[in-house]
């Protein structure tokens, strides 16, 4: 194994178990490891700190596979890591009454850059970094054996691959071609998932628990489900007895799937409204027409990819929340989310407070929401918390 030696005083994050080592912290590498190859990491004193994956083209030059003494990074190593990830989730399918879970959550499961969702018999995964690409054949073999899944589909069409010197790639990795529609369920709500054409690995499992909680506020109310994607919150709300549901999304394929998901749950296709458009414009149009709703859901995409985009993102969140809050009828509910890792829960709360102030409404938080529990967080990797939400009463 090649050895990367850190600069003096730059070993503290690694000693505390943080999985990332930036190029600026590395003093020397004693050769030219291949893309993603494991390297031994030593402190300036020579002490061994662990083994990580080498990303020669990325600012994050090493991601740690293992902390402590030198160990082979081989199939047996990945078998153990994957078995541990599955053990954490052993009771979750039953606990959350679902057949769809995030079974590998990258850094938080000690497997940097590897994100794998299970939809029934189908695994759908992203291999985002050089080390993940290097480990891919072993991960695929082990996970097919451990889960007994019928298919493993790859969705490594992620922007981050370019920073790692990797091309984007999608397609079948193992097993049989997955069906066009995989029907999953969250409690008694059904959703069709298309792992080939859907966003990310096909679907947003991270909102599962929030969909359940928010839907429990929907009975008898007019529900506005913005950034609906394939219907998520709105279909759950309809199933929970909403008076009406209006979905808004910019993507026609997402709304086509939302229609399918509506009928999958026993409702007529015209039982809900599917509005294709830009949420910012559609919210203004509702305001101008004096429309209001008893429950408004705001689940925008990531507005900030990096910390430098935080200011722009904050304006986006402020705008959408201001427009959204204005549409909530007196005594109604607001569920508002941010999935930008760069926006902390405190910052998000401040933005919503400013929006409420500008809207001239009294907004009280009844519950803070987070990414679903199968999207585990490592204590040593606070960057892993990205999705946060506020469920609010609006006066």
Footprint of ligand SAH on this chain (CB under 6 A)? 204, 207, 227-230, 232-233, 248-251, 254, 278-280, 299, 301
Nearer to ligand SAH, 152 or 229 (CB): 229
Q: Which is nearer to ligand SAH, 65 or 119 (CB)?
A: 119
Positive or negative torsion for Cα 42, 43, 49, 53: negative
Query: In sequence order, what are the beta bridge partners of 132?
Result: none
Measuring CA to CA, how many Å separate 102 from each of 90, 95, 157, 186, 301? 12, 14, 18, 13, 19
Bridge-partner residues for 67, per DSSP?
A: 50
Least separation in angstroms between residue 336's CB and ligand SAH is 12
User: Tokens at residue 13, please?
Assistant: 């994050």
Angle at 121 (CA atoms; ends 167, 373), nearest 5 degrees: 80
Coil, strand or helix: which one is 323?
helix
- Specify the residue, 207 or 340, whose C-beta has the smaller distance to ligand SAH: 207
**Residue with smaller CB distance to ligand SAH, 207 or 336:** 207
Active-site annotation holder among 339, 351, 359, 394: 339
Query: Cα separation of 270 and 291, whole Å?
Result: 20
User: Which of 186, 222 has the CB closer to ligand SAH?
Assistant: 186
Min separation Cβ 148 and ligand SAH, Å: 27
Give the nearest distance from C-beta 297 to ligand SAH in angstroms.
Answer: 7
User: In whole angstroms, what separates CA 45 from the centre of its chain?
Assistant: 39
Do residues 227 and 299 lie in contact, with contact meaning Cβ atoms separated by under 8 Å? yes
User: Cβ(189)–Cβ(216) under 8 Å?
Assistant: no
Which residue has the closest beta carbon to ligand SAH?
232
Catalytic, 339? Answer yes
The backbone torsions φ and ψ at residue 170, rounded to the nearest 5 degrees and listed phi first, read -140, 160
Write out the DSSP string of 275-293: EES-HHHHHHHHHHTT--E
CB of 184 to ligand SAH, least distance (A): 12
Least distance in Å: CB of 256 to ligand SAH?
Answer: 12
Q: How far is the CB of 209 from ligand SAH (least distance, A)?
A: 11
Specify whether the CB–CB gap between 116 and 104 falls below 8 A: yes
Per DSSP, helices labelled H in 53-117 are: 75-88, 92-95
Closest CA to 276 of 312, 302, 247: 247
Closest to ligand SAH by CB, 363 or 369? 369
DSSP conformational letter for 255: H
Q: List the catalytic residues.
A: 339
């Amino acid at each position: 194994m090649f050895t990367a030696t850190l600069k003096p005083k730059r070993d503290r994050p690694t000693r505390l178990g943080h999985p990332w080592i930036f190029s600026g912290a590395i003093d020397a590498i004693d050769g030219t490891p291949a893309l993603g190859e494991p390297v031994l990491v030593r402190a300036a004193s020579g002490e061994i700190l662990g083994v990580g994956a080498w990303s020669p083209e990325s600012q994050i030059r090493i991601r740690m596979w293992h902390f402590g003494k030198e160990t082979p990074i081989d199939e047996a190593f990945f078998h153990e890591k994957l078995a541990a990830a599955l053990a954490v989730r052993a009771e979750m399918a039953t606990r959350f009454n679902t057949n769809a879970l995030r079974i590998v959550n990258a850094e938080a499961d000690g497997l940097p850059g590897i994100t794998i969702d299970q939809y029934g018999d189908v695994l759908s995964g992203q291999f985002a970094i050089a080390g993940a690409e290097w480990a891919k054949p072993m991960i695929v073999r082990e996970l097919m054996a451990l889960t007994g899944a019928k298919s493993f589909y790859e969705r490594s069409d992620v922007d981050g691959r370019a920073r790692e010197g990797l091309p984007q790639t999608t397609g079948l990795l193992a097993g049989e071609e997955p069906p066009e529609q995989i029907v999953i369920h969250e409690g008694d709500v059904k959703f069709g998932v298309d792992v080939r054409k859907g966003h990310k690995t096909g679907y947003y499992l991270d909102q599962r628990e929030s969909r359940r909680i928010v839907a429990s506020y929907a009975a008898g109310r007019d529900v506005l489900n913005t950034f609906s994607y394939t219907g998520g919150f709105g279909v759950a709300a309809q199933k929970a007895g909403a008076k009406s549901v209006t979905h808004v999304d910019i993507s026609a394929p997402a709304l086509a799937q939302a229609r399918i998901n509506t009928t999958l749950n026993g409702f007529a296709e015209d039982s809900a409204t599917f509005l294709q458009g830009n949420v910012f414009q559609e919210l203004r149009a509702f305001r101008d027409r004096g429309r209001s709703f008893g429950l408004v859901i705001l689940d925008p995409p990531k507005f900030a990819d990096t910390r430098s985009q935080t200011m722009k993102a904050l304006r986006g969140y402020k705008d959408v929340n201001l427009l959204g809050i204005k549409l909530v009828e007196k005594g109604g509910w607001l569920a508002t989310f941010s999935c930008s890792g760069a926006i902390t829960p405190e910052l998000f709360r401040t933005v919503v407070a400013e929006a409420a102030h500008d809207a001239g409404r009294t907004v009280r938080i009844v519950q803070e929401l987070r990414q679903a529990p199968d999207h585990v967080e490592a204590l040593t990797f606070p960057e892993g918390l990205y999705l946060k939400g506020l469920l609010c009463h609006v006066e």
